[in-house]
Amino acid sequence: MTAPRAPRAPRVGFVSLGCPKALVDSERILTGLRAEGYDIAPTYRDADVVVVNTCGFIDAAIDESLDAIGEALAENGRVIVTGCLGARPERILERHPQVLKITGPHAYEDVMGAVHEYLPPRHDPFLDLVPPQGIRLTPRHYAYLKISEGCNNRCSFCIIPSLRGRLASRPIDEVLREAERLVAAGVKELLVISQDTSAYGTDVRYASAAWRGQTYAARFIDLARGLGSLGVWVRLHYVYPYPHVDEVIELMAEHRVLPYLDIPFQHGSPSVLKRMRRPAHAENTLARIRAWRAQCPELTIRSTFIVGFPGETEAEFAELLAWLDDAELDRVGCFKYSPVDGAKANALADPVAPEVQEERYERFMERARAISAKRLAARVGKTIEVLVDKIDGDSAVARSWADAPEIDGVVRIRNGSGLQPGDLAQVRVTGASEYDLQARLTARRARAAPSV
């Protein structure tokens, strides 16, 4: 069935679920739609068709995606599904056979083709409403920068490689030009994302390209150098502790990129890491962390962990706690292992009982909270630079170099009502809780090179 052509601009509703990588996919699709003259509808009722970008990482995310599709069908009725869950159409059709079309992850052309099929674009040569930096779903002052798709690792608990395919790095000049456009549009913080940021360029043999008159290789370190020359905050996510990551610590010590590393360690016991088939599991990560902190004392390390992985013994869990005590990570998230359809780990022996998982989760988080509180208490009395996210009454809610948006803590500025979202400011830290800091404004800075 094809919809009749609307006299006004055709309107697409958009629901974006999942991780920052899916968010970047959504931004690219929205940019494409806007470039073709589609309007983006704010409500289901205003939309001629609704696109739902789904997540299929764990069972809870699959349920959320299926519910979102159900809601869009109930409220609008004309729904196109894309994203990670789209790689498993049978799961969607089983519950929602009436969806118009299903496409998989990063299938931009397919999504556009589906929209064209059910809602043809209106040709208008005067319609060119897309800003050069594209359409973004994040606040104006920060943006995610996706440097690659897919992953060559084969972690036993994860099905992302089968959903998103093998590593496909974007050309270095394309990434740097996109970053440049974002900065020109007012972005003050670039968040580099991928499935495995430290593996950037390995699939394209580190192909070189020119940018601003210099040659850059598609390498982690060149990428960090290039982004670090733009004069904004640069935050690196999803990095694995390979030896070549050491090179970027120097740039952090020089404040050219933020001294912040998001490394999903997932466990501290070598035998569990081996069963998880984690990349770099044989590296001596504690020694590496010590060396990094010696070189760059402000370095903040964020990580995520899985407790109750199949076969995890009490001794292995104790190893994880001891590892965490030694590593003193600043920001820590934790998940209780849950099987994902199609993951190799499902076949491992000795699943851990839910009540044991729960108990280990509590013990782990208690330890992580104590470490976080101790490390934040050490910042009281210091003057730091923050980026303001929002104003909340008389206070401003901001973040320091140590806080990624949505996942880490915040800095509450008591006398910050005169600030604006996107302002950089100097504050003096007056107090600390388990995850957040309190501070007083000492100086406003309209724009600055990154400093901590």
Among 178, 196, 316, 403, binds ligand SF4 (CB under 6 A): 196
Please identify, using beta-carbon distances, which residue of 100 and 306 lies nearer to ligand SF4: 306
Residues in region 266-285 near ligand SF4 by CB under 6 A = 279
Cα-to-chain-centroid distance, residue 211: 25
Among 158, 248, 320, 427, binds ligand SF4 (CB under 6 A): 158
Q: Which stretch binds ligand SF4 (CB under 6 A): 70-78, 156-164, 244-252, 407-415?
A: 156-164
Residues 103 and 95 sit within 8 Å (Cβ to Cβ): no
Alpha helices in 233-347 (DSSP H): 246-253, 270-276, 285-295, 314-327
Residue 122's alpha-carbon distances to 34, 43, 51, 125, in angstroms, are 11, 21, 18, 10
151 binds ligand SF4 (CB under 6 A): yes
Structure token pair of residue 377: 């208490």
Please identify, using beta-carbon distances, which residue of 76 and 195 lies nearer to ligand SF4: 195
Residues in region 176-195 near ligand SF4 by CB under 6 A = 195
Among 28, 116, 137, 153, binds ligand SF4 (CB under 6 A): 153
- Can you say whether the dihedral through the CA atoms of 164, 165, 171, 172 is positive or negative? positive
- Does residue 277 sit in helix, strand or coil? coil
What's the min distance (Å) between Cβ of 281 and ligand SF4?
11
397 binds ligand SF4 (CB under 6 A): no
Please identify, using beta-carbon distances, which residue of 150 and 422 lies nearer to ligand SF4: 150
Q: Which string of DSSP letters, residue by residue, matches 146-199?
A: E-EE--S---TT--HHHHH-S-EEPPHHHHHHHHHHHHHTT--EEEEE-S-GGG
239 binds ligand SF4 (CB under 6 A): no
Number of residues that bind ligand SF4 (CB under 6 A): 10
Among 24, 68, 79, 155, binds ligand SF4 (CB under 6 A): 155
Give the closest residue to 332 by CA, choosing from 353, 296, 363: 363
Q: Distance (Å, rounded) from C-alpha 367 to C-alpha 376?
A: 14
Q: Which stretch binds ligand SF4 (CB under 6 A): 45-53, 99-107, 157-165, 305-313?
A: 157-165
Query: What are the residues binding ligand SF4 (CB under 6 A)?
Result: 151, 153-155, 158, 160-161, 195-196, 279
